């Protein structure tokens, strides 16, 4: 579905950072399919074998997420000014900044701030120089343990990742105020969908439970998972919010979710229905002392000011995603 008229994007140049990652790659293919006359520049550090102290990969960008993409691809690190300088040759109209350390369990505060906050400032300076609109990924993690409805302006991050994203939001507001820049920050809630497989352990529970089921195992959940609710949002709705942000004559920070929280039990049950299984559920004790049991994005301003309207219920999203989960299982998991 197109959210902006073709003539508004014809001969425009779009930069996507983190383009080989989950959301970045979906944006890249959206433009390629719907706006073929738009020039898309994909910028990503791509995957290496480097890992954080928690054992997770430092970069989730993977070439397989961009197979079929026909635009320009630049391998670069957003924290290195010499890499960003390669973008000077392009007349950029829009920047979709998806590159970040998105692993909420990373404890290295220095690298989190350098990557998520300091590099963001460099990109804002680049956007200012190019007179480009900046649309960037913020996060529902900024809210921490605040009660639902999670609302912009009431935040309490509980990890350095959430803190870094809140810092980005505060900096963006300052740039809007001081320089009159056009900047939209999108606070994603629990996103699931195509091209998340290479996030490994940080991929959504929709994918993780789906792969468990396809391997012949009952989905594993905490006891009382029917009472643990999250605002799960399908990737197509995330893309919608990003594209609408291009055309909206507003700046600010907006939540992107469905505002209809669903339980982890719902995910398992819907998956079993779509995958044609009946393995019941394997329950175990929740090992976390502090665990948020409810998130629900307040999307009133997102709908009003961006024109956003969530189109995928959890049932719709999983139904649409099911064939891709099966493909991932057959091509990436089954024979490993």
Instruction: Tell me the catalytic residues.
Output: 161, 199
> What's the DSSP call for residue 290?
S
Sheet containing 13-17: which strands, arranged edge to edge? 72-75, 39-44, 13-17, 94-97, 133-139, 183-188, 252-256
Distance, CA of 295 to CA of 147 (rounded, Å)? 7
Q: Is 143 helix (H, G, I), strand (E, B) or coil?
A: helix
Report the C-alpha gap between 105 and 231 in whole angstroms: 20
Distance CA 269, CA 259 (A): 20
Per-residue tokens: 186: 């999108």
**What beta strand segments (E) does the chain contain?**
13-17, 39-44, 72-75, 94-97, 133-139, 183-188, 190-192, 220-222, 229-230, 232-234, 252-256, 262-263, 282-284
b/e per residue 179-217 (b: at least 16 CB within 10 A): eebbbbbbbbbbbbbbbbbbbeebbbbbbbbbbbbbeee
User: Cβ(154)–Cβ(222) under 8 Å?
Assistant: no
Among candidates 97, 145, 88, 131, which has minimal Cα distance to 117?
97
- Using alpha carbons, select from 268, 149, 186 the residue that is nearest to residue 219: 268
Task: Provide φ and ψ at 55, rounded to 5°.
Answer: 90, -10
Picking from 305, 310, 154, 187, the residue whose alpha carbon sits closest to that of residue 253 is 187
User: In DSSP terms, which residues pair with 282 in a beta bridge?
Assistant: 220
Range list of H helices, 180-284: 205-214, 235-247, 264-275
């Amino acid at each position: 579905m197109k959210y902006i008229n073709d003539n508004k994007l014809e001969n425009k140049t779009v930069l996507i950072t983190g383009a080989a990652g989950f959301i970045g790659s979906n944006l890249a293919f959206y433009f390629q399919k719907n706006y073929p006359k738009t020039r898309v520049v994909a910028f990503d550090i791509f995957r290496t074998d480097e890992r954080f102290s928690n054992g997770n990969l430092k970069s989730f960008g993977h070439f397989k997420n961009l197979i079929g993409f026909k635009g320009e691809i630049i391998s670069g690190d957003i924290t290195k000014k010499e890499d960003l300088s390669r973008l000077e040759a392009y007349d950029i109209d829009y920047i979709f900044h998806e590159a970040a350390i998105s692993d909420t369990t990373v404890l290295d505060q220095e690298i989190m701030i350098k990557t998520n906050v300091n590099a963001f400032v460099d990109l804002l300076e680049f956007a200012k120089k190019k007179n480009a609109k900046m649309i960037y990924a913020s996060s529902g993690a900024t809210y921490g343990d605040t009660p639902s409805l999670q609302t912009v302006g009431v935040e309490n991050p509980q990890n350095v990742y959430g803190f870094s994203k809140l810092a980005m939001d505060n900096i963006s507001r300052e740039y809007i105020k001081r320089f009159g820049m056009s900047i939209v920050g999108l606070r994603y809630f629990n996103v699931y969908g195509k091209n998340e497989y290479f996030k490994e352990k940080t991929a959504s529970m929709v994918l993780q439970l789906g792969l468990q089921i396809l391997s012949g195992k009952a989905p594993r959940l905490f006891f009382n998972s029917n009472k643990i609710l999250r605002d799960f949002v399908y990737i197509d709705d995330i893309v919608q919010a990003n594209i609408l942000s291009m055309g909206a004559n507003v700046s600010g920070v907006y939540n992107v979710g469905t505002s209809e929280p669903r339980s982890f039990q719902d995910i398992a049950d819907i998956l079993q229905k779509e995958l044609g299984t009946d393995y019941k559920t394997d329950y175990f004790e929740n090992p976390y002392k502090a665990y948020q049991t409810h998130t629900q994005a307040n999307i009133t301003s997102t709908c009003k000011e961006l024109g956003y309207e969530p189109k995928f219920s959890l049932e719709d999203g999983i139904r649409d995603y099911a064939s891709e989960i099966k493909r991932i299982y057959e091509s990436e998991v089954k024979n490993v």
